[in-house]
Amino acid sequence: HMHAHAYTGVHTCARTHVHTCTHTCMHTGTHACMHTYSHTHVHTHRGTHTRAHTHARMHTNTGTHACTQTQAHTRACIHRHTHVRAHSCAHARTCTHRCTQVHTWTHTYVCTYAHTHVHAHMGSHACTHTHTRTRTHAHIHAHTRAHTHAHTHSCTRTHSCTRTHTHTPRPTHTHTHS
């Protein structure tokens, strides 16, 4: 008499990270710069790894500075169970500075995190996390040395999680009788 159970599972992991930055500031000078970086790594046993980085910077003679930065990161692998992980992040910054010595800085950060876990024995697990942060910074400095500083910060977090449990045995039954 022979009785056996066979379980199969696949493990996949993916991560994505996006970072964007925008910066504007009034000053003098002319400068332009562009940088792009990408990296891809593939391995038979451990999966696929991809990384891309883009950075752009530009100055104009009117005293305007613009900077945009985007970074993407993706990772994948295969193992015993199913595991999916996604992370996305957005970053924006705006700065204006003029001859009146009025400086305003706005920072916005939005981050979303999603997590999904699936296993043949233990079931499914899905989780989503969202984080939003906004910060505004104002700086005013007059010739009379009067100083005004304003800072606002707001943060919002959202977290949702769903968990399901399934147990699906795949038996292989062999009975020998003589």
- Considering the chain, what is the average pLDDT of its residues? 45
Look at residue 32 and tell me whether its pLDDT is greater than 50. Answer: no
Asked, for residue 111, whether it belongs to a domain, the answer is yes
Beta-ladder partners of 36: 54
Asked, for residue 25, whether it belongs to a domain, the answer is yes
- Side by side, the strands of the sheet bearing 102-119 are 82-97, 102-119, 123-141, 147-164
pLDDT value at position 24? 37
Cα→Cα distances 77→10, 42, 103, 130, Å:
10, 10, 47, 24
Split at pLDDT 50, 70, 90, the class of 41 is: very low
The range of the structural domain enclosing residue 150 comes to 2-164
Asked, for residue 169, whether it belongs to a domain, the answer is no
Look at residue 133 and tell me whether its pLDDT is greater than 50. Answer: yes
Q: Residue 72: which residues within 8 A CB-CB, separation 6 or more? A: 16, 17, 18, 50, 51, 52, 53
- Distance between CA atoms of residues 64 and 95, nearest Å: 10
Asked, for residue 172, whether it belongs to a domain, the answer is no
What phi and psi, each to the nearest 5 degrees, are found at residue 27? Answer: -160, -175
Asked, for residue 9, whether it belongs to a domain, the answer is yes
Asked, for residue 61, whether it belongs to a domain, the answer is yes
CA torsion angle for 85, 135, 37, 11 (degrees, to 10)? 0
pTM of the model: 0.19
Split at pLDDT 50, 70, 90, the class of 152 is: very low
| Domain tally, the chain | 1
pLDDT in tens, 136-151: 444 444 433 334 444 4
pLDDT in tens, 44-99: 444 444 454 545 444 444 444 444 444 444 444 333 344 444 444 444 444 433 33
Split at pLDDT 50, 70, 90, the class of 129 is: low
Cα→Cα distances 16→68, 73, 99, 108, 140, Å:
18, 5, 41, 19, 39
Asked, for residue 159, whether it belongs to a domain, the answer is yes
Asked, for residue 117, whether it belongs to a domain, the answer is yes
